[in-house]
Structures are given as C-alpha cells and as structure tokens.
C-alpha cells in the first residue's frame, strides 16, 4: 500500500515499523561500520522513514521538528498529538 493510500493510523504504524528498522540497523552499524550491505539497508529504510515522516506531516501535521513547516501560522501545539488520539 502506498503512503498516500494510508489513513492516519496506518501511516503512523508504518512510521513505527521503518523507524524500528532504522534504529536496529544503526545499532548494528555501530559495531560493523564497513558492512556495505548494512549501509545500503540503512539508506533504504532511512529514505522510507524520511518520506513517511514528510507524508504524515503534509497530511496530519509534523511528528518531529524536522518536518515542521511554520508557513503563515504556527499550529504545532494546536493539534492533538498521537498519544492524545491524534493518530486514531
């Protein structure tokens, strides 16, 4: 399923999954910094995560400051956060 076809909850779940992969491979690379396949894996999942975070931000508001876009009005604090039911 493409990110633009996911609802808010599905997209947040996808972000959780690819974020876990990024963290996991980062820990592996801490001890195996020259593993070229692991670096490719990291780059792939880091790109998936970055795209998913941007898609979420575009549709529902930013989850992190990295994808925040103040535009003409800063509404970061005005929207419900995921743990407040914002992603359900």
pTM, two decimals, is 0.80
**For 46, what's the count of Cα atoms within 13 Å in the CB-facing half-sphere?**
9
- Over residues 28-83, the pLDDT tens digits come to 999 999 999 999 999 999 999 999 999 998 888 888 888 877 665 666 677 777 77
- Over residues 31-45, the pLDDT tens digits come to 999 999 999 999 999
Domain limits, the chain: 3-84
Rounded to whole angstroms, the Cα distance separating 41 from 29 reads 10
- pLDDT of residue 12 exceeding 80: yes
Rounded to whole angstroms, the Cα distance separating 64 from 76 reads 10
């Amino acid at each position: 399923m493409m990110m633009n076809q996911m609802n808010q909850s599905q997209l947040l779940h996808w972000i959780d999954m690819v974020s876990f992969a990024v963290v996991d491979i980062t820990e592996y690379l801490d001890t195996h910094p020259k593993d070229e396949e692991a670096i490719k894996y990291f780059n792939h999942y880091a790109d998936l995560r970055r795209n998913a975070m941007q898609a979420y931000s575009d549709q529902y508001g930013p989850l992190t400051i990295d994808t925040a876009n103040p535009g003409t009005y800063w509404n970061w604090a005005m929207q419900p956060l995921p743990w407040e039911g914002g992603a359900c």
